[in-house]
Chains A and B, each alone.
Chain A
Amino acid sequence: AQSVTQPDIHITVSEGASLELRCNYSYGATPYLFWYVQSPGQGLQLLLKYFSGDTLVQGIKGFEAEFKRSQSSFNLRKPSVHWSDAAEYFCAVGPNQGGKLIFGQGTELSVKP
């Protein structure tokens, strides 16, 4: 079955520190991969996406993610976290047999001053 796992429910980092959020997927074919961010009480905003080509993709707000087929992973990274990055982050993969996006459980990021 197709699935997405975000192993970390909650991560706390210090402002200015580097960040890596993990995402592992189970998918039978070449996946399309996405990272979304959700601020409290808001909808989801797309950070970046991977469809094909270069396995290191750049997104908005200084985020990047690397697709590693051998590890079935699509981890999100940022070299220096800002307090405004505190939010919930969702990894998604698609399409499944119904043409739908499958979301992970989300990782809540807190940023310490």
Chain B
Amino acid sequence: EADIYQTPRYLVIGTGKKITLECSQTMGHDKMYWYQQDPGMELHLIHYSYGVNSTEKGDLSSESTVSRIRTEHFPLTLESARPSHTSQYLCASQSLGQGLTEAFFGQGTRLTVV
């Protein structure tokens, strides 16, 4: 059973507000990802981490930032939300064990900035 959780599931927030999207996993996975996905569209990798104190920019430029202070926690922060940030944000984790394993995904956070 995959145990990766995202909160909140839905968020409507005003322009200029600071927000943090939470992602936690209980599987002890080293690798974690954040994807941005517009409705019905492909996934765009915006951030990833190989482990504690590791953060990397993804393929799609994003104004968000991430941190990885604990293995299980990979929060994403927007310092000043804008309507262009309206999207679905998906968090995933993956083991760095022998070979490659599948990525496990959270339920997603649907963000609307008004």
Contacts and interface: CB of A to CB of B under 8 A. Distances in A.
Q: Specify whether A and B are partners.
A: yes
Nearest to A43: B105
Contacts of B105: 36, 43-45
Contacts of B102: 34, 46, 49
Contacts of A49: 102
Interface in B72-114: 88, 90, 92, 94, 96, 99-100, 102-108, 110
Interface stretch (A16-24, A72-80, A87-95): A87-95
A109 to B, nearest CB: 12
B45 A100 contact: yes
B107 A90 contact: no
Contact of B31 (A90, A99, A104, A106): A99
Nearest to B94: A101
A42 interface: yes
A42 B100 contact: no
Contacts of B6: 43
Interface of B: 6, 31, 33, 40-43, 45, 48, 50, 56, 88, 90, 92, 94, 96, 99-100, 102-108, 110
